[in-house]
Amino acid sequence: MFLSKLLPLNEALSKIDEIQKTTEIETVPINECHNRILAEDIYSAHDSPPFDKSAMDGFALIAEDTFGASQANPKHLKIIDQIGAGDFSDKKISSEEAIIIATGAPIPEGANAVLMKEYTESDGDNLEVQSQVSPKENISPRAEDIKEGDKVLNLNTFIRPQEIGLIASAGYNEIKVFKKPRVKLIITGNELVEPSKTLNKAQIINSNQYVIRAMIESAGAICDVSHEYDNFENVKKSIKKASNDYDIVITTGGTAISKGDIVIDAVDSVGEVIFHGVSIRPGKPAGFGIVNNTPVFMFSGQPVAAMGQFDMFARKFLFKMQGFDYNYHIVKRESRVKIPSTLGRTDYIRAVSDDNFTHHVLNRGSGIIRSMVEANSYIIIDENDEGIEKGDLVNILFFDSMNWNR
């Protein structure tokens, strides 16, 4: 019913952008925040370093005691204590005294410099000083890195291991993050059966339930799957229920004219079809609608088309739902081959790319999963290009650059 008027990809994406929203915010303990997105700014409760600390392994001392010292004319001090990293000394340094100190340890009271170990000799508690230092030398002053109250991380930051370290150091044991989107994946198709070594006539193994679920999870979301038979009332009921219970609904199958548009008609009957049919390859019959304020992405039953549609339409939407303002990182590579395309259509071509070159995977039927297995990237041919020539610098999107985990 809709497929005849194909939308350009960019217009389709704009229509999806219009209803982009983020999930709600939840508070999680710090050991559960890896690969989540901050839903608050983080302010440090502490100075960092929290005290004047040594920047070198050496000797804390009074700089003035070293003035004039050299290898030829060493000075002599008395070692009165030793401070490891994380330890501290209660002793106060007086004139002609020194304390052995480790990198990172707090400077003891009375000292105003650290002399590097390399410029000394020691024997018992006798220290021979062979070089002079200036006051403040080799000391990282308290709060030089972060001052108490400084904002150290912004809202919407992706939390990698190092961000967790900063959050912990700032004094937080729990933080606010965006909730993971809950996605209902509805697989349609009477012909689909569970993986098995034996198949009956026209039965096809339901691989989409595993593939698209894994892709949804690789976009940071939580996925439940159901398999529905190609019956209009049944599909309609299933989509309506999912729209109540989940943040997003994704369907596969039932979007091509030849199958009677069951899914498109179902969404049309209980909500609104925003578009059906996009000028792309693979994945032309892609549809998008809203039921009950819930976005419904309608993808093909053909596995490769569904994977491409997920990458084109759903992945970024899921990223942005989690507060991550994400854009694909497109890089340029030299094409080893000529690839024709059609003006007005955007192609996502399965490709093998390295640091310099790219070429397409030869076996490109939209049902041929092996072509996605051989590929590590898409060559993207814009709708304004009629194709690419051998030697052209072309747009490449590496699969592994689209991963949620960082």
At residue 45's C-alpha, the angle toward residues 180 and 24, to 5°, is 20
Longest alpha-carbon distance in the chain? 97
Between 172 and 243, CB nearer to its own copies: 172
Secondary structure (3-state) at 6 = coil
CB of 196 to its own copies, least distance (A): 6
Between 155 and 205, CB nearer to its own copies: 205
Between 64 and 224, CB nearer to its own copies: 224
CB of 347 to its own copies, least distance (A): 17
Between 209 and 341, CB nearer to its own copies: 209
Continuous segment of H or E residues that includes residue 193: strand 192-193
CB of 336 to its own copies, least distance (A): 19
CB of 87 to its own copies, least distance (A): 7
Between 69 and 304, CB nearer to its own copies: 304
Between 256 and 270, CB nearer to its own copies: 256
Contact between 192 and 204 (Cβ < 8 Å) = yes
Distance separating alpha carbons of residues 398 and 243, to the nearest angstrom: 32
Distance separating alpha carbons of residues 234 and 213, to the nearest angstrom: 21
CB of 128 to its own copies, least distance (A): 19
Distance separating alpha carbons of residues 116 and 101, to the nearest angstrom: 10
Contact between 271 and 289 (Cβ < 8 Å) = yes
Amino acid symbol at 85: A
CB of 259 to its own copies, least distance (A): 4
φ/ψ region of 71 (left if φ > 0, alpha if ψ in -120 to 50, else beta) reads alpha
CB of 343 to its own copies, least distance (A): 17
Give the CA count within 13 Å in the CB-facing half-sphere of 379.
31
Which pair of tokens denotes residue 252?
């596969």
φ/ψ region of 242 (left if φ > 0, alpha if ψ in -120 to 50, else beta) reads alpha
Between 64 and 392, CB nearer to its own copies: 392
Distance separating alpha carbons of residues 69 and 375, to the nearest angstrom: 67
